[in-house]
Amino acid sequence: MIEPHEYESTFPAFLADPSLRRRNIFAYIDTRDLGQMTLRALQTDGLGYQVFNVANADLSVAATTQEIVERFYDGVEVRREMGEHETFYSIDKARELLGYEPEHSWRDVLTGR
């Protein structure tokens, strides 16, 4: 989880060295977007028990998704086309059932990177 004030203090290192985020599968979640996801789940009737992946829509590094695949996952089967900076966590279920859409990105804070 990333709090808004942490972008400027922590993300420059991730942008310089993407391997620092490998253990997180290059994903992150802004606390405000996690709050949005949680609120949407609480406000949605009829869900019952559900498990959701929750992440921001983009990667936590400046490299593209393709560059990360080539550098860290060479030989791993890619089963669908992915966006230029798309997270490896599928957030499609949260989007479909809850209308979840991340609103906050490190890219909005660290412009020009």
Q: Is the residue at 88 inside a domain?
A: yes
Does residue 59 sit within a domain? yes
pTM: 0.89
User: What's the rounded Cα separation, in Å, for the pair 97 and 38?
Assistant: 12
**Considering its fold, how many domains does the chain have in total?**
1
H-helix segments, the chain: 6-16, 31-43, 65-72, 92-98, 106-109
The whole-number pLDDT of residue 112 equals 56
32: containing domain: 6-109
pLDDT at site 60: 96
d(CA 37, CA 95): 9
List Cβ neighbours of 76 (8 Å cut-off, separation of 6 or more): 69
Please report the pLDDT score of residue 46 as a whole number: 93
What residues contact 23, with CB distance under 8 A and at least 6 apart? none
Is 1 inside a domain boundary? no
Q: Could you list the mean pLDDT of each consecutive 10-residue stretch along the chain, which spans 113 residues?
A: 94 95 96 97 94 95 96 94 95 96 94 59
